[in-house]
Structure 1
Amino acid sequence: MDAPARAPRPMSGAALFGLLFLPYALGHFLSCMMRTVNAILVPQLTAELALTPAQLGLLSSVFYFAFALAQLPVGVALDRWGPRRVQPPMLLLAALGALAFAHGGGYAELLCARGLIGLGLGGCFMSAVKAISTWIAPARLPTVHGCLIAVGGLGAAAATVPVRLALRHTDWHGLFVVLAGAAAALALLIHVATPAAPAPPPRRRAPGLRGLGQVYRHPAFRDTAALMLVPHMVFFGVQGLWIGRWLSEAARCSEAETAQLLYYGMAAIVVGAVLVGLLTEWAGRRGVAPLDVAAAGVALFLLVQLGLACNYAPLQRPLAVLFTLVGTVTGIEYTIIAQRMPAGLTGRAATCLNLLIFLGAFAVQAGFGLVLDWWPAGAGQGHPAAAYQLAFGLLLALQLPGLLRFLALRRGGGAASGRMACRPPRAAL
């Protein structure tokens, strides 16, 4: 049941990049691309299926729900068997879902196929985090995780202008056939090229799902989740669909301008993710805890959302890009958890985060559509700006308590960041 007893030979930096980081990062690239591609396909999908905002929100957000369902079993499997044995069959399942989506003829069929895609891609990010956390020294994790999130940003960017250009030569049915082929090819690459995980030391059987309780009780997990979980839900739920719709209806952007701004926003994830990683390492060398860096980023993220809720016309387009640029700070929670959790629980820790984040993203994305449905759409004008203002205002109200809690603890001298700074990180593998 466990990994092979023979430990793998040490690898050079180039080998780690080419045989470890790159294959798993490509999985995250594909996952982010397929997660956000519906944002650019909105005109085609609504025209062909006559979808309401609530139906559109459910069609896109079912990805998150299925993604969340995969987290518990995949996290346990990663800790027990390693990403090399877990990831390829998951990618093949995603390829099957993409083919089903390509040939779907009705709303129910597309809904089921979209869920299957989410289920199959549910292990991409966790597999990458587990592989990186196993082979990379903890001190380097912020930068490496930042690079991983940056690759995901490239995937999200590829779902905007490049997809719109591809739609000149094919329709969305053909696009998903290509995506299915990419998922199958990547499954083969990971199976053939990536190294096996080091064999665990002889010990009693892994705690399985019972280990999840250890994760939820761990102070590092609780402190990080209290501050960052809801902002992460909002970031995923909004940037994957509604920021593009907001540009079209509230900011009155053309389809081409919307695609261009979405491209800039998704590309900004690349810059933001790398900067967050570098800034966290720089701050750590000066005694600043990662959770303090995260709190500053969350505060800035809420200010951006406040601007969206106010709907100040001159700032509409910059705010759409800033939403994704600043929102990348939410990804730092994976670094905090990977640095502070025991090595045998890193897969389950990523599982717990993903389970909560993607269930929340499902609720955010579907709920946003329900809020818009409270207003009747104008003929050819979409929904009014007031509908989006209310939706963003509700999201702000959900996120503010976590930041206020952190500030209250910080002022009282019992901040989570202080507790975390007192515990040394895990030794490098």
Structure 2
Amino acid sequence: MATQADNNRNQSAGYSIWKVVLVVVLPFAGGYFLSYLYRTVNAVISGRIIADLPLDASDLGLLTAFYFLAFAAFQMPLGLLLDRFGPRRVQTVLLLAAAMGAFIFSIGTTLFELSVGRALIGLGVSGCLMASLKAITMWFPSERWPLVNGCFLATGGLGAVAATGPVEALLSITDWRGLFLGLAAATIVVSALIFLVVPERQEVGRSRASFRGQWEGVVDIYSSRVFWAAAPLCIAVQGVGFSIHGLWAGPWLADVGGLDSTGVATVLMAMALALTAGFVFTGVAADRLQRMGFSLDRLTGFGAILFIAVQALIVSGLVTSEIWPWVLFGFTSNMTVLVYPRLAQAFSLEMSGRVNTSVNMLVFIAAFVMQYAMGGLIELATPTGADGYPASAYRITFGIAILIELASLAWFVLAVRRLPARKA
């Protein structure tokens, strides 16, 4: 149960709720917007990269997945740094690494050079969500975390929107190299904004333990029954969602749906808009339904069922180039993010950075493996011509992803039921 001190956290610091939104939430939102743009832009520019460089589907999957690999690799030290030094300083430095990665990507001519750039981007934006969630736990009362998180996450959806139609429009006046050069400059601007505008919060949510003590906290997290009850479903569903939305939705729409580049960009934009709406809906619904007695575990399971059902519809072959199934895909793809506030509430505030990054590391490892594996599975099929692949290759690959999600859902239902009742 939230304490009165918790409820009045932002007021005690002399900040109104709207000032917190202006000087804390919005600067971090700029970074998260860019992180989602970086994550999903390859779905639009993949054809142009393949046209410019000698890459196949497997190479493209590996190249794009390096973002997830570097992202995941830094999650554990990221949690320690956030809890020790706070989100402002950590995020400022990391975004500069992302800017360097975008610059290297813009001038790369080999798979290795592009992979280095992509990995640096992944490292640099690895803290965009986690630093923001840490800041939210420091400035808002705990019962409002699902609502604030949901509204904040919508800025990522806007980044995904920007990676579709707007990027396609920009590519009519520049190429993908010029696009990434511009992204590098924008990332430097957001880094400076966070450093100059966001206030420090020394007295709240900062761990005073030694690094050894902080690592012992990580061990406690990974030893927790509640962590392993809730996290696997989020890991599987988010891994699949990131892999498809961030890359393979585009080739599916081109090869299975028969859409041209403009049509693909249109559907991806609709997906991204739905993703944005889904974030807000999830946060608002969780806030309201919790007051009515519904648990975050129950809402998470229901969201996962909806997302899996939408994927089954797409894989079934009943729809191919229609927009509405992909709109539903975007809308439902991130409902399992409720696992983040659910787990943050189960541990102390000083551990919130490590709790969130402990989940996020596994999510992005899963996304790396799934995105690369999807490319490998699709590559097993004989191309149908013009670098396209048969519909059966995509359906089998996406179908395997559904089976993984169903297994994680079954685990979630059984494991959550065995947890002790939560205290009010």
TM-score, normalised with respect to structure 1: 0.92
The reply on whether 1:324 has 2:330 as its aligned counterpart is yes
Amino acid at match of 1:229: I
DSSP-derived class of the 1:311 partner: coil
The reply on whether 1:387 has 2:381 as its aligned counterpart is no
Gaps of 5+ in 2: 1-10
Amino acid at match of 2:382: P
Amino acid at match of 1:422: R
1:3 is aligned to none
1:427 is aligned to none
**What is the aligned counterpart of 2:300 among 291, 294, 299?**
294
2:7 is aligned to none
CA contact (8 A) 1:251 1:317 kept: no
The reply on whether 1:28 has 2:39 as its aligned counterpart is no
Deviates more, 1:102-111 or 1:355-364: 102-111
Amino acid at match of 1:118: G
DSSP-derived class of the 2:385 partner: coil
Cα shift at 1:102 = 0.8
Deviates more, 1:212-221 or 1:278-287: 212-221
Q: How does 1:237-316 map to 2 (within 5 A)?
A: 237-313=243-319, 316=322
User: Hey, what's the Cα distance between the residues in 2 that align with 1:240 and 1:47?
Assistant: 19
CA contact (8 A) 2:33 2:158 kept: yes
The reply on whether 1:187 has 2:182 as its aligned counterpart is no
Distance 1:203 1:76, change over 3 A: closer
The reply on whether 1:49 has 2:53 as its aligned counterpart is yes
1:137 is aligned to 141
The reply on whether 1:365 has 2:371 as its aligned counterpart is yes
Identical positions, percent: 34
DSSP-derived class of the 1:313 partner: coil
1:59 is aligned to 63
User: Hey, what's the Cα distance between the residues in 2 that align with 1:251 and 1:87?
Assistant: 40
**What is the aligned counterpart of 1:354 among 360, 365, 368?**
360
User: Hey, what's the Cα distance between the residues in 2 that align with 1:315 and 1:177?
Assistant: 33
Distance 1:192 1:34, change over 3 A: same
Distance 1:192 1:409, change over 3 A: closer
CA contact (8 A) 1:149 1:331 kept: no
CA contact (8 A) 2:234 2:363 kept: no
1:422 is aligned to 422
1:117 is aligned to 121
Amino acid at match of 1:351: T
Cα shift at 1:138 = 0.8
Deviates more, 1:221-230 or 1:164-173: 221-230
**What is the aligned counterpart of 2:179 among 175, 179, 183?**
175
1:340 is aligned to 346
User: Hey, what's the Cα distance between the residues in 2 that align with 1:314 and 1:39?
Assistant: 17
Cα shift at 1:317 = 3.1
DSSP-derived class of the 1:50 partner: coil
Cα shift at 1:401 = 1.6
Cα shift at 1:199 = 2.5
CA contact (8 A) 1:406 1:415 kept: no
CA contact (8 A) 2:282 2:335 kept: yes
2:103 is aligned to 99
CA contact (8 A) 1:308 1:392 kept: no
Cα shift at 1:101 = 0.8
- Render the CA deviation track for 1:208-247: whole Å, top value 9, x for unaligned: 3232111112333222113322111111111100011111
2:409 is aligned to 403
Distance 1:405 1:204, change over 3 A: closer
- Render the CA deviation track for 1:122-165: whole Å, top value 9, x for unaligned: 11111000000111011111111001111000001100000000
CA contact (8 A) 1:76 1:208 kept: yes
CA contact (8 A) 1:308 1:316 kept: no
Cα shift at 1:415 = 4.5
DSSP-derived class of the 1:208 partner: helix
Amino acid at match of 2:168: R
- Give the CA RMSD over aligned residues: 1.8
Deviates more, 1:122-131 or 1:201-210: 201-210
Distance 1:99 1:65, change over 3 A: same
CA contact (8 A) 2:150 2:283 kept: yes
User: Hey, what's the Cα distance between the residues in 2 that align with 1:193 and 1:380?
Assistant: 50
Distance 1:203 1:116, change over 3 A: closer
**What is the aligned counterpart of 2:210 among 182, 194, 205?**
205
CA contact (8 A) 1:371 1:391 kept: yes
CA contact (8 A) 2:95 2:188 kept: yes
2:77 is aligned to 73
**What is the aligned counterpart of 1:19 among 16, 23, 38?**
23
Q: How many pairs align? A: 412
Cα shift at 1:109 = 0.8
Cα shift at 1:316 = 4.5
DSSP-derived class of the 2:14 partner: coil
Distance 1:314 1:44, change over 3 A: closer
DSSP-derived class of the 1:209 partner: helix
DSSP-derived class of the 1:340 partner: coil
- Render the CA deviation track for 1:362-415: whole Å, top value 9, x for unaligned: 0110000001011011112711110011001111111112222334457xxx35
User: Hey, what's the Cα distance between the residues in 2 that align with 1:266 and 1:403?
Assistant: 25
CA contact (8 A) 2:256 2:320 kept: no
Amino acid at match of 1:166: L
Amino acid at match of 1:152: G
The reply on whether 1:126 has 2:130 as its aligned counterpart is yes
Gaps of 5+ in 1: 1-6, 425-429
CA contact (8 A) 2:270 2:323 kept: no
Cα shift at 1:107 = 1.7
Cα shift at 1:184 = 0.7
Deviates more, 1:304-313 or 1:111-120: 304-313
